[in-house]
Amino acid sequence: MREKHETLRGSEVTMLVPPLETERLLIRAFRLEDLNVIHHILDIELRTADFGSEQARTREERERWLQWTVLSYDELARLYQPPYGDRAMVLKSTQQVIGACGFVPSLGPFGPRPISARDTPPKRRKP
């Protein structure tokens, strides 16, 4: 599946999101091999945390969620849909998955936010 994801990233689809990095963290797409650690974090360590309507899942339920999440990256991209969804939070120094976060593009009421100063639209003149 990873090869398929890399193929999509390189050619036909531009909706896939590259990993996001800070000095200490890497925010990347989940992988199927993340199952044990994300099940432990979300369903065992945080079992009693209040996340709204979602509750702890069995390993089998978390596996189904993870499969759906991993598949959704490519399927949303194929449909040219915004890349909403969960991502793995990885500590760069150890490459260990330490959590999950949701990814939501910020489109705002006037389109995407500028990425750099040169992408900033010109100011409108007042009449």
The answer to the question of residue 123 being in a domain is no
The answer to the question of residue 60 being in a domain is yes
The answer to the question of residue 105 being in a domain is no
Q: Report pLDDT for 110.
A: 57
83: three-class secondary structure by DSSP: coil
**pLDDT per residue as tens digits for the range 31-81:** 999 999 999 999 988 887 776 656 778 999 999 999 999 999 989 888 888
Judging by beta carbons within 10 Å of its beta carbon (0-12, 13-18, 19+), is residue 108 exposed, middle or buried?
A: exposed
The answer to the question of residue 104 being in a domain is no
Of the candidates 39, 25, 46, 18, the residue with the CA atom closest to the CA atom of residue 90: 25
Q: In what order do the strands lie in the sheet with 96-103?
A: 20-21, 25-29, 85-91, 96-103
The answer to the question of residue 114 being in a domain is no
The answer to the question of residue 80 being in a domain is yes
* Total tally of structural domains belonging to the chain: 1
The answer to the question of residue 7 being in a domain is yes
Q: Report pLDDT for 63.
A: 96
> How much is the pTM?
0.69
Give me the domain span that covers residue 76: 2-18+29-85
The answer to the question of residue 47 being in a domain is yes
